[in-house]
Amino acid sequence: MPNAFNFAASPFDCLNEDERRLVRDNVDIAYYAENEAILEAGGAPAHLFVVTKGRVTQYEGDEVVATYGPDDCFDGRALVAGKSGSRFVATEEVLAYRLARQTVKDLIAANAGFGALLFSDIGRKLGVIAQRRSQEEMQSLLLARVDAAFIRPAHFVDASTDVVSVVRLFQEHNVSSVLVRDATTTPPRLGIFTRTSLQRAILDGTPLNQLPVGRMSAFTLVAVPVSSQIGDALTTMLRHRVHRLVVMRDNEVVGLLESLDVFSFLANHSFLLAEQIDMARDLDALAQAASSVTRMVSLLFRGGSRVELIARQVQEVNGRLFERAWKMIAPPDLVANSCLFVMGSEGRGEQLLKTDQDNALVLRDEYAPPAELDAIVTRFSDALAAFGYPPCPGGIMLSRPDWCMPVSAFGRRIREWLIAPDAEGLMNLAIFFDARAVCGDAALLEQLRASLIEFALDSEVMLARFASATEAFGNTQGWWNRLFTLADADRGLDIKKEGIFPIVHGVRSLALACRVTRETGTVQRLDALVAHDAVSADMASELAESLHFLMGLRLKAGLAEIDAHKPVSGEVHMAHLSSLERDLLKDALGVVKRFRTLLRQRFRTEFL
């Protein structure tokens, strides 16, 4: 065969040298004229086809279901099944390599990764890719297990031990904390005494050689299993605002994981940013911290971190940033009598790069806000803009009167969206449904959420209108063909409109219909919907994998635009994707297509 066979294209890039030699010895090349059928539905394929020139269209009946271009292969699934369920036609003149069926079967038997990439669903394909990259990814501390990091030995003392003796232990072992056993309670409890606790002990006034360490210890330990990833451990530190975690194996203490032990590995990760935010004393210092968020995302993504983990880190950092800014700007009584919340992708924990502000403020009904409230909320919106979060073009910001109201007025506005829904009202409803409190009294937001559920579920028509937004974007019949015409024209594909939004809003619609209100993240909602039998476990898994893959593609494109000093559009250019990425993109959009069909059947949106 010609030596031009591209072993860098998926799935052939996972073959070893012996397997590549097997391909070279058993492949030939064929020509197909324009409009010539390459494989008929119901036929028994004898070859796996790899396109080298031209374009092939796959039909199920009269419907186009996929398009293939150079370096793409088909039809692996039919080859294994022994029968094709589709018709493949040369849309233009095609040159294609043909690999014999027995050779393909031999490759599948010898290389499980090849078989998975050839005909598995998107979940297994992404799993194989992750496995192939495991050695490289383990170099990223966020993906390493906790026990791969430096775990400090745990030193134990009895709660009755005096503080002076504990300080001697600090000095002797060069440690900054000890675990404290208190056997006076039933059951016995375990606490921690740190150098910060020592400061409080000194200020207590009791002579330190007479002060039991148990009196100054914290007995609310935060623990993680030894099998946890460092990234998950750091997220736990952020959430609980602690500097160290107790590492457990089964019910036994392995040791302590401290934040300082991982700072040198990732010089700009989320915990360091959170520390910088907490130490900030003015808005300028907060702006300095905010300027590092995008660099943190880039480092994590290019270091191999999972997109969903990066998004969770961003959510924690942004939440801390917004909370700190609000407390700097708003007087304490306003903070205590209101709830600042974020919405949209920020509320779901699915934001990666900085996007438009989507936030609001709900006030306690009986509270009389300060006369300068308008100036306060405007200053907050301006501060976020200075941090790199631009104003929302639709005005969904607490600096606008429609998004800064007492509970009763806000509840009436939600009922207006529900009773007489127009396009704008339904979109506002969707954005609000993702709300997450970041500062103040979260119970105020829960009151609004309860009023939403109370009125929403009385009307199947309203739910159908709400769900119909999944049809507002994208062309379910045309994007297969556009995958390669876009490559030719170097035009972008809006991944958010074509894939991310239908998944997010479709899941949101099912969650509203099933009264799933506690969860705001798409994956968490999917887990709840499986429990409600609203979607199958397989569909939920495919949707989650597809969402994360599409988010990753969009992030990759956005980072490339930032590197080129261009405005971030989030559009994906087909010419910039590898054959594997194009293959996975087809799979992901195919999942979106099936999900839209499920939504039409559930909500009967075709009758609207």
Could you give the residue ranges of the DSSP H alpha helices within 241-356?
A: 260-263, 270-279, 283-290, 293-302, 307-329, 332-336, 344-348
Average pLDDT value for residue range 489-512: 86
Average pLDDT value for residue range 348-374: 93
Secondary element (H or E) of residue 131: helix 122-132
Is the predicted pLDDT of residue 572 greater than 60, yes or no? yes
What's the pLDDT score for residue 534? 92
What's the pLDDT score for residue 262? 61
Is the predicted pLDDT of residue 350 greater than 90, yes or no? yes
Q: Residue type for 33, please?
A: A
Q: Which of 85-99, 177-191, 284-298, 413-427 has the lowest mean pLDDT?
A: 413-427
- Say if residues 586 and 484 touch (Cβ distance below 8 Å): no
- Say if residues 95 and 31 touch (Cβ distance below 8 Å): yes
Residue 101: closest CA among 46, 152, 139:
46
What's the pLDDT score for residue 136? 46
Average pLDDT value for residue range 183-196: 91
Q: Which residue has the tokens 């979260």?
A: 442
Is the predicted pLDDT of residue 131 greater than 90, yes or no? no
Cα–Cα distance, 123 to 368 (Å, whole number): 53
Burial 104-123 (b: 16+ CB within 10 A, else e): beebbeebebbbbbbbbbbb
479 confidence band (pLDDT: 50, 70, 90): low
Ordered structural domains, the chain, with CATH? 12-119 (2.60.120.10), 143-263 (3.10.580.10), 270-456 (3.30.460.10), 469-607 (1.20.120)
More confident residue, 119 or 307: 307
What's the pLDDT score for residue 1? 46
- Say if residues 358 and 396 touch (Cβ distance below 8 Å): yes
Average pLDDT value for residue range 311-326: 92
Q: Residue type for 277, please?
A: I
Measured in residues, the chain has a length of 608
Q: Which of 14-28, 225-239, 397-411 has the lowest mean pLDDT?
A: 225-239
Average pLDDT value for residue range 291-320: 84
Cis omega (within 30 of 0) for bond into 187: yes
pTM: 0.70
Is the predicted pLDDT of residue 120 greater than 60, yes or no? no
For residue 5, what are its two tokens?
């066979």
Cα–Cα distance, 530 to 537 (Å, whole number): 6
What's the pLDDT score for residue 167? 94
Return phi, psi of residue 216, to 5°: -105, 5
Cα–Cα distance, 107 to 87 (Å, whole number): 25
Cα–Cα distance, 566 to 563 (Å, whole number): 8
Is the predicted pLDDT of residue 94 greater than 70, yes or no? yes
Cα–Cα distance, 70 to 56 (Å, whole number): 10
Return phi, psi of residue 572, to 5°: -105, 130
- CA angle 378–383–389, rounded 5-degree value: 105
What's the pLDDT score for residue 490? 57
Average pLDDT value for residue range 78-101: 86
474 confidence band (pLDDT: 50, 70, 90): low
Half-sphere exposure of residue 285: CA atoms within 13 angstroms, side-chain side? 12
As a whole number, the mean pLDDT across the chain is 84
Cα–Cα distance, 254 to 608 (Å, whole number): 60
Is the predicted pLDDT of residue 531 greater than 70, yes or no? yes
Return phi, psi of residue 413, to 5°: -65, -40
Cα–Cα distance, 244 to 437 (Å, whole number): 25
Q: What percent of the chain has pLDDT over 70?
A: 87
More confident residue, 48 or 481: 48
Strand residue runs (E) in 506-588: 571-573
Average pLDDT value for residue range 185-194: 92
Query: Counting Cβ atoms within 10 Å, is residue 324 exposed (0-12), middle (13-18) or buried (19+)?
Result: buried
Cα 431 to the center of its chain, rounded Å = 17
- Say if residues 410 and 448 touch (Cβ distance below 8 Å): yes
605 confidence band (pLDDT: 50, 70, 90): confident
For residue 541, what are its two tokens?
């898994």
578 confidence band (pLDDT: 50, 70, 90): confident
What's the pLDDT score for residue 503? 95
Cα–Cα distance, 500 to 496 (Å, whole number): 5
Average pLDDT value for residue range 471-483: 56
Strand residue runs (E) in 463-512: 492-494
Q: Which of 97-106, 130-139, 160-169, 232-241 has the lowest mean pLDDT?
A: 130-139
Cα–Cα distance, 554 to 493 (Å, whole number): 10
Sheet arrangement for strand 73-74: 27-32, 94-100, 47-53, 73-74
For residue 547, what are its two tokens?
């969402």
Query: Counting Cβ atoms within 10 Å, is residue 556 exposed (0-12), middle (13-18) or buried (19+)?
Result: middle
Q: Residue type for 581, please?
A: E
Is the predicted pLDDT of residue 261 greater than 80, yes or no? no
What's the pLDDT score for residue 138? 40
What's the pLDDT score for residue 489? 46
306 confidence band (pLDDT: 50, 70, 90): confident
What's the pLDDT score for residue 539? 92
Average pLDDT value for residue range 307-335: 92
For residue 63, what are its two tokens?
């419907």
165 confidence band (pLDDT: 50, 70, 90): very high
Q: Which are the contacts of 343, defined by CB distance < 8 A and separation ≥ 6?
A: 358, 359, 360, 396, 431, 432, 434, 435, 436
- Say if residues 286 and 280 touch (Cβ distance below 8 Å): yes
What's the pLDDT score for residue 124? 56
Helices 460-467, 423-433: inter-axial angle, 10-degree rounding: 90
Q: Which are the contacts of 251, defined by CB distance < 8 A and separation ≥ 6?
A: none
414 confidence band (pLDDT: 50, 70, 90): confident
> Using alpha carbons only, how large is the chain's radius of gyration in Å?
28
What's the pLDDT score for residue 111? 81
Average pLDDT value for residue range 114-135: 58
Residue 335: closest CA among 444, 446, 450:
444
Return phi, psi of residue 100, to 5°: -60, 145
Is the predicted pLDDT of residue 477 greater than 70, yes or no? no
Give tens-digit pLDDT for 386-395.
999 999 888 8
Name the DSSP letter for residue 498. Answer: I
Cα–Cα distance, 98 to 32 (Å, whole number): 12
Q: Which residue has the tokens 């300095």?
A: 288
What's the pLDDT score for residue 64? 77
What's the pLDDT score for residue 263? 56
Secondary element (H or E) of residue 374: helix 373-386
For residue 91, what are its two tokens?
């849309």
Residue 216: closest CA among 232, 233, 229, 199:
199
Return phi, psi of residue 241, to 5°: 55, 50
Cα 82 to the center of its chain, rounded Å = 38
